[in-house]
Copies of this chain bind each other. A is one copy, B any other.
Amino acid sequence: MDDPVVVTYAVRASRDAIDARADALLLEQTVELPRSALHDAGARGRAVGRVARIDPLSSGAYRVTLEQPAATVGDDPAQLLNVLFGNSSLQPDIELEDVALPAGLLRVLGGPRFGIAGIRGAAGVGQRALTCTALKPMGLPVERLAALAATFARAGIDLVKDDHGLADQAFAPFEPRVRACQAAVNEVSARTGRRTLYVPNLSGTPDRLRRQADIARAAGVGAVMVSPMLVGLPAFHALVRDGLGVPVFAHPAFAGVLRAAPEALLGRLFPAFGADAVIFPSYGGRFSYDRKTCGALARALRHPADPLRPALPVPAGGVALERVPELLAFYGSDTALLVGASVLADPDRIEARSGELVGAVHQYQEESA
């Protein structure tokens, strides 16, 4: 028998009801029948896992750990999501807390192809934290976005990503935009000798994603970004496995529709499906993740289960430039710090503010070396 898929949920139930609730949850995720209607011993043997543990949580809820037979997944990324949190995502007394996939299934999924080491290699950055900022706002024409990319490159930023809302809008269509932004960072690099990776956002239906990936590769980009929940995790996985050729940054847009712990969805599933780096809203910004969640998320990315490569945490989401030392102390150097609005606040000081971001990261590295 293969190792099982281990899934942990937080379940709100009374002490009297939790055993039955945990068993119902177990059955809901695979056979979708109560035990009273589950007559076939063969089906029970093949498709019914077991409730491995029930532990009380301080919140009064219970942590329920299920072991589901790996064979129920059938090596299908979509069906994996279904076994983990398909029907139960519709039940408000359940939250997905954590996921541990067996090594065989992780090998099938493949995980990050580049990971932290591959991104460091592509960006030419050894030990220190990486600096990252975003091309925005949506609505700017191609030449303005390209000029902004050049500004960031001159300031020495490592990673210049598209805002994830940049798609294929008429006011800045994908192909000319990506070519112009890549050409802009190339031109600066040729002068300064410093590398800056431009990271365009891919978005759309599966065919459109592939066309965009072809265009991006042909333009010579060093990495790409995708929002796995917007395009769908299985479509994301297929794009990555079909030979993307460059590291992929995962953006969390649309990930909050699920009642799933960020550590599980962004920290475990995004990299298992192929993300080399995962962008997430850091504590203290304009989103709600707290320090504990952010720490757990970063740890999950850096310390995956065998045989996956470590993925790069990219805290973001309203990070102020002034907080860089604090965030580096918290996240450590295996991190890319994504600072967007804060370097764009004053149109006359974008290059200077970007340089301050670069300087703060270098300074922190020297002081902590």
Are A203 and B90 in touch, CB under 8 angstroms? no
Question: What B residues does A76 contact at CB under 8 A?
Answer: 167-168, 203-205, 208
Residues 68-104 of A at the B interface (beta carbon under 8 Å):
71-79, 81-83, 85-92, 96
Contact B34 A204 (CB under 8 A): no
Determine if A360 is an interface residue (Cβ-Cβ < 8 Å): no
B139 engages A31 (CB within 8 Å)? yes
Query: Shortest CB–CB separation between residue A79 and chain B, in angstroms?
Result: 4
Smallest CB separation, A270 vs chain B (Å) = 13
Closest 8 CB pairs of A and B: A232-B232, A43-B139, A47-B139, A89-B256, A31-B137, A86-B253, A206-B206, A205-B238
Query: Are B231 and A235 within 8 A (Cβ)?
Result: yes
Which residues of B are found within 8 Å of A341, using beta-carbon distances? 32-34, 37
Tell me the residues in window 19-56 of chain A with beta carbons closer than 8 Å to chain B beta carbons: 24, 28-34, 36-40, 42-48
> Contact at A141–B79, with CB atoms within 8 Å?
no
Please count how many residues in chain A sit with their CB below 8 Å of the partner chain's CB atoms. 93
Inter-subunit contact B77/A204 (CB<8 Å)? yes
Q: How far is the CB of A125 from chain B (nearest CB, A)?
A: 25
> Do A136 and B235 touch (CB < 8 A)?
no
A263 CB to nearest B CB, Å:
14
Say yes or no: is A255 at the interface (Cβ < 8 Å to chain B): yes
A67 within 8 A of B: no
- A231–B232 contact, CB under 8 A? yes
11 further contact pairs, Cβ within 8 A, besides A72-B169, A92-B257, A204-B234: A40-B139, A40-B144, A43-B138, A43-B139, A73-B167, A76-B203, A77-B205, A78-B205, A85-B256, A235-B235, A256-B259
